[in-house]
Structure 1
Amino acid sequence: MNFLIISTTLKNIFVVLKDEKNNIYTRTLTENKSGNYLANAIKEVVEESKTNIKNIDEFGIDIGPGSFTGIRVAISTLQGLLIDNPEKEVYTFFSSDVLYRSAVNNNPDLKKNKLAVLKRARENAAYASIYENGKRIFGPQMVFEEFLRDSLNNCILINEEAEYFKNKYKLENEVFYSNIDEKSLIEEVIKGKRVKVKNLKPLYLQKPLAVENLEKEKTK
């Protein structure tokens, strides 16, 4: 089975193709505006694997949390690739789950701990997911200072973006860094929800600032 995976909300953009012999071909995009080169990266891994898009059986796509623009670029690209097959079902997954899985796969002792993945949403807000005993028990959800101070006391924080919130709010949590690996990425993708490609939507967790300000006024 040939399997193509696209992720645009991690630190780098990943395009991963696993062929029917379990060979893995990867492109990692790190440049600014690297989303502009997504289609070319897909073309490169497909050519390197000596297959073509029509011979790819399964697709996986990262729907967040993270850059709304990056997610829309990925969705548009995949819908373009499958324009003749809009009913095709593809796997969707959360980038925070990939960060967690990479951490515990590479460091099994971490699984005994309560872990939280933090991704920066705004200067004062994070996308948070919490994991315990190998399962996600909270999120992804956008959270603010009060949550970060009061609800993460027993968590080891995963992801280098967590360092920003640790410093900003003087949190005492340990921060653990982990590289993304293709095995962890593939593991999470095949656990994801399947959606028709024509119905793909980004995970959108942020309320418009005007709505947030109105809600704050009502609670005063």
Structure 2
Amino acid sequence: MNLLIISTTLKNILVVLKNEKNKIYTRILTENKSGNYLANTIKEVIEESKTNIKNIDEFGIDIGPGSFTGIRVAISTLQGLLIDYPEKEVYTFFSSDVLYRSAVNNNPDFKKKKLAVLKRARENAAYASIYEDEKRIFGPQMVFEEFLRDSMNNCILINEEAEYFKNKYRLENEVFYSNIDEKSLIEEVLKGKRVKIKSLEPLYLQKPLAVENLEKRKTK
């Protein structure tokens, strides 16, 4: 099975292709505005693997949580590649699950512990997912200071972005930086929900600030 994966909400943009012989081809984009080069990078990976878009059996795409713009770029790029296959189904997955799985796969002792992945949503808000016994028990959801202080006391925080919230709110949690590996990425992709390519949508967790401010005024 040939599997092509696109992720735009981790630290770097990833394009990964696993071919039917289980050989993995990877490209990492780290430059600013790297989403502009996503289509060309996908083309490079496909050419390096000596296959073509018609011979790729499965596709996986990261729908969040993270940069809404980055997710939309990935979705539109994949929809463009598959424009002749509108009924094609693709796997959708959460980048927070990949961060968790990478941490656990590389640190077996974490399987017995409660972990939380934090990603920056705004200056005062995080996208949070909490895991226990190798299952996601909360999130992804946008949370604020009160939740971070009161509901995550016994969690190891995963992801370097968690360091920001640890310092900002003087949290006592341990922070662990999780390096992404292709095995963990592929494992989470194949657990994902399958949707038709034409129905792909980003994970939308964040209300516009104007809407939030209006809701706050109404509750006063």
CA distances 1:129-176 after superposition (whole Å, capped 9, x unpaired) = 000000000000000011011000000000000000000000000000
> 2 CA distance for matches of 1:41 and 1:62?
16
Aligned to 1:69, what secondary structure does the other structure show? helix
Deviation at 1:219, TM superposition (A): 2.5
Aligned to 2:143: 143
- Secondary structure in 1 matching 2:141: strand
- The separation in 1 between residues aligned to 2:24 and 2:86, in whole angstroms, is 26
- After the TM superposition, which residues 16-27 of structure 1 pair with which residues of structure 2 at under 5 Å, given as runs? 16-27=16-27
Deviation, structure 1 residue 218: 2.5
In structure 2, the partner of 1:11 is 11
Query: Secondary structure of 1:207's match?
Result: coil
SS of alignment partner, residue 96 of structure 2:
helix
Q: Which stretch shows the higher mean deviation, 205-214 or 131-140?
A: 205-214
The match for 1:66 is 66
Task: State the distance in 2 between where 1:107 and 1:27 align.
Answer: 25
- Aligned-pair CA distance for 1:40: 1.1
SS at match of 2:167: helix
How large is the RMSD of aligned CA atoms in angstroms?
Answer: 0.6
TM-score (norm 1): 0.99
After superposition, what is the alpha-carbon deviation per residue over 1:65-93, rounded to whole angstroms, capped at 9, x for unaligned? 00000000000000000000011000000
What is the CA-CA distance between 1:215 and the residue it aligns to? 1.8
- Extract unaligned runs of 5+ from structure 1: none
1:12-56 CA-partner distances (Å, limit 9, x unpaired): 000000000000000000000010111111111111110011100
Taking the aligned partners of 1:77 and 1:7, their CA distance within structure 2 comes to 12
> 2:2 is matched with which residue?
2
Output the CA distance in 2 between the equivalents of 1:56 and 1:113. Answer: 37
Task: Give the secondary structure class of the aligned counterpart of 2:218.
Answer: helix
Per the TM alignment, residue 217 of structure 1 is displaced from its structure 2 partner at its CA by 1.8
Normalising by the residue count of structure 2, what TM-score does the alignment of the two structures yield? 0.99
Runs of 4+ with deviation above 3 angstroms: none
* Matched positions, count: 220
Q: What is the DSSP-based 3-state SS (H/G/I as helix, E as strand, rest coil) of the residue aligned with 2:137?
A: strand
- What are structure 2's unaligned runs of at least 5 residues? none
